[in-house]
Amino acid sequence: MREREREVVRARGHENVTARHGSTLEVTSDDWLTPAGDCILAVEADRVPADFDDAFVEACRDPEATITVTLTATTESGETYEETITGRGDPELSFENERSHVGRTSDYVDDRTVLVGGSAAAGDLDRDLVDALADGADLRFELVVDVE
């Protein structure tokens, strides 16, 4: 197995987080969120896909790659909620977007896509984690890629 590559993004929840979308989840660098953004988990991301290291991007382009996303929400009082989602890489992943990270349960790829074939979407997440994000919790969005 090649060395694991890792990227960490920090963002924060928002009062309009509902996390109801059935096929995607998103973390954005935008500083706002409308109620229509039902896939968005957090705003004000400190990094975007275009910031990721070339070695990470290259590893994610391997169709045999496993990409694991760990979402860790931490409230002001120090409570933490964590969830892990696994997906896979794709040769079409570009990591060129300068705004948003999108995980997908489908095979669809655009410049925002950071994994395909995900084991969960926003609507599948633990509601305690979602409630914490709706209350403005900090989010640690960690992506780890493993290639056989």
Structural domain spans, the chain: 5-146
DSSP calls for 104-130: ESSS---TTEEEBS-S--GGGS-HHHH
CATH topology of domain 5-146: Jelly Rolls (2.60.120)
Give pLDDT tens digits along the chain (148 positions).
455 899 999 999 999 999 999 999 999 999 999 999 999 999 999 999 999 999 999 999 999 999 999 999 999 999 999 999 999 999 999 999 999 999 999 999 999 999 999 999 999 999 999 999 999 999 999 999 998 7
Question: pTM for the full model?
Answer: 0.95
Query: And the tokens for 5?
Result: 């590559």
